[in-house]
Amino acid sequence: MTLNLLIVEDEDLTRDCLLNYIPWKEIGISEIKTAKNGEHALEVIEEYKPDILLSDVRMPKMDGIELSKRVKNIYPECKIVFISGYADKEYLLSAIQLNALNYIEKPINIDEITETMKKVVEICINQMKREQITNKIFEMFNENLWLIHKTVIFELLKPDVDINTLDKYGFDLNKKYIPIVAFLSSDDNGNNEVLIKNNEELIEKIIDNKIIMPFDFYVAFSEYNQLIFVINYYINPEIVLDILKQNLKESYKNIDITVGIGKTINDITKSGEIIKELILFLKVKQFYNGKNKTYYFEDISQNHKIEDVDNRIHDFEELLKNNQFEQAKKIVNDLSILCNERKYKDIEKVKGIYLEFLFKIYEVGRERGLTIKLEKKERSHTWKVIDRIPTLSELDQYICLTIDEIFNIFKNRGKLDKKVYQIISYINDNFSDKELSIMKIANYFYFSPNYLCNIFKKATGKTINDYITEVRIEKAKAFLKDRSIKLYEVAEMVGFGDPNYFSSIFKKKVGVTPSVFKERFYYD
């Protein structure tokens, strides 16, 4: 391994002494060039890439600090050692900020400089070896780089990081890193297919970018909609975000992205703690402040304890039972305003309150014959739906829309007569009857078919046949969640004599076949 050195010193005697009295070849330096000031050094650097910069601090035209800043922009891996007779705090601070490896005072001591440069050379050689290993790893696994990235990210998330695993995959343990977390969300909060479908393709495109080398950053999905980057400290996070956004446009449509940029990871053993802290911070920020924004990490203080909401939930239920749906929605809206003002840190607990609202909606709906009883697994699935809603405003909207969807028929209660309610109850009680029809219902209530259809459509906005189909499909969804019931049995249980016709109608209304719906419920 060969290393190149650039000596920058404005004093001829000192420059010659450094060049001729230190055993450069013995300590591993194969090529040396010199410059008399910063401007001269930049001219030399145009055709000469130094691995190590040994520079005086105070020089005419351009001092060593300014020179080092420019060199770092061009060759960020270049190692810097300063020499100066002016060891004041200002210059020492500048040297630290530039990550200089050492700061040597004049008059120079040959033995001191030799020992210092031996250590610098050792650092360079170790880094070059690590990069060679890393390059070999990436050559061997070129088609599966995303898997290497995933392995590293998941290791960094662990409470006890395995240093050996990181080193095995070329992770430079001597560098500082910055974590970046991105939350992706589709327009349909309950549908994660669009987010899962192209995840591997997205990661491969990001890794294959032409701007940042694969071993200068690592990226992986920690959850279906949660993307984590860990980048070398010297990389500008904005560059990473530009790469991400460009590839998102190519891989997805109608995807929102919310980004959190974390604090520096100085100690890699604490990476999991820092990344998880950033994830929590970003969830809270997104929940209250919205999506499609970039947030820089800051400590979140919790000043408010979440109040007891039992009275709110009780009042909410009573209003639903009394068909006072707008007042029920106002309870939800008022809670949202309170949460937004206080910005509770425990957003899972906040979502749990909205989940209780949702359960009450289903319970009252079940009493009216409009919804089914939620079993244990269905209640768990409902929590997943709530948990995937990323913002407070969307959560509020989801609860209120659910009220409208389930109780829409009762909004026009004043315009409905008792017979319409009886017709609805009759259909809910007899949906499994294969002979259920407009004529059968009309005969049961002693109406003419035309009159029956007219009063039902006027009251509900739906035809009787459409309502019968809706009830049957909703009941079918419930039966499909029971693994012991076969598909043809479900068709019979909801009043379809022909399983193929049932499957066709189900797909038309739900968007997927009954068999696909059944599998999704069990593997979601």
pLDDT along the chain (524 residues), means of 10: 88 90 91 92 90 89 87 87 68 57 77 89 84 67 75 93 86 90 71 59 84 84 91 91 86 83 93 94 94 89 76 93 91 94 91 94 78 68 85 94 79 61 86 92 84 83 90 88 86 90 90 84 54
Interatomic CA distance for residues 235 and 257, integer angstroms: 21
How many other C-beta atoms can be found within 10 angstroms of the C-beta atom of residue 43?
10
- pLDDT for position 458: 81
- pLDDT for the residue numbered 40: 92
CB contact at 8 A, 131 and 77: no
Q: Where are the alpha helices (DSSP H) in 157-270?
A: 163-168, 193-197, 199-207, 237-251
Q: Which residues of 139-175 are buried (b: 16+ CB within 10 A; e: fewer)?
A: eeeeeebbebbbbbbebbbeeebeeeebeebbbbeee
In the prediction, which pLDDT does 296 show?
94
Query: What is the predicted pLDDT for the residue at 189?
Result: 44
Cα 460 to Cα 468: distance, rounded to the nearest angstrom: 13
pTM: 0.57
